Structure 1
Amino acid sequence: MYKICYFVPESHLDETKHALFGAGAGRIGDYDQCAWQILGRGQFRPLDGSQPFIGQAGVLETIAEYKVELVCAEGCVRNAIAALKATHPYEEPAYEVLALTQF
């Protein structure tokens, strides 16, 4: 089992979650579409050559973003990340995949 965490603007929060759910993420036992999310502030500065969804090259941006966490079985984690990348508005979405140990 893995945990996927990613950051996304509110405009694409539901779209990315539903794409991940459709790829099999967010299942815990007899439950599906399980996720945890919290609103925070993210920052980034697009570099020359980038094509940012928000902002412009060379200018530091700070925006409201959600951090979303959900679990994913090993058999669908690659498809889940592909679904995230396909629906996320950012050129380079920030995400992490952590291996979980069951006790």
Structure 2
Amino acid sequence: MEEMTYKLCFYVPVSHVEQVKQAIFQAGAGHIGDYDCCAFQVLGHGQFRPLDGSQPFLGQQGEVEVVEEYRVETIVTAACLQAAISALRLAHPYEEPAIDLWKLEPLPA
């Protein structure tokens, strides 16, 4: 039986993309067959407005901030999932990083 696999997607400012990718790869994410450090990334613009009580890495409370960010997608097995997400959160500069997670179905033979 195949191990459960997930697609992990997150958004990270340009300044920290390599740091965060290396952290999740060291935690076991990004393995596909005989390859490691597998990921796809695309540059775009993210936006957010820090609210009262926040401690933003970028921007000021009450003001919308637009920043160049990468959307990074990779694969992670169930066995490495918690470690990869913990590593992502520790390496990411935002106090509330945007993270998406999808459970993947096995590909047909």
TM-score by length of 1: 0.99
User: What SS is found at the alignment partner of 2:89?
Assistant: helix
Pairing partner for 1:34 from 33, 38, 59: 38
What residue is the counterpart of 2:71 in the other structure?
A: 67
Q: Distance in 1 between matches of 2:101 and 2:81?
A: 9
1:78 equivalenced with 2:82 (yes/no) = yes
TM-score by length of 2: 0.93
Unaligned runs of 5+ residues in structure 2 are none
Larger Rg: 2
Instruction: Give the letter for the 1:26 counterpart.
Output: G
Unaligned runs of 5+ residues in structure 1 are none
1:89 equivalenced with 2:93 (yes/no) = yes
Query: Share of identical aligned residues, percent?
Result: 55
Per-residue displacement from partner, 1:8-33 (whole Å, max 9, x unpaired)?
A: 00110000000000000000000000
- The Cα of 1:71 is off from its aligned counterpart by 0.2
Q: Distance in 1 between matches of 2:102 and 2:83?
A: 15
After the TM superposition, which residues 19-58 of structure 1 pair with which residues of structure 2 at under 5 Å, given as runs? 19-58=23-62
Structure 1 residue ranges, 4+ long, deviating more than 2 angstroms after superposition: none
Q: Distance in 2 between matches of 1:41 and 1:86?
A: 22
Instruction: Give the letter for the 1:99 counterpart.
Output: K
- The Cα of 1:74 is off from its aligned counterpart by 0.8
Q: For this pair of structures, how many residues does the alignment match?
A: 103
1:15 equivalenced with 2:22 (yes/no) = no
- The Cα of 1:97 is off from its aligned counterpart by 1.1
Aligned-residue CA RMSD (Å): 0.4
User: What SS is found at the alignment partner of 1:47?
Assistant: coil
Instruction: Give the letter for the 2:99 counterpart.
Output: Y
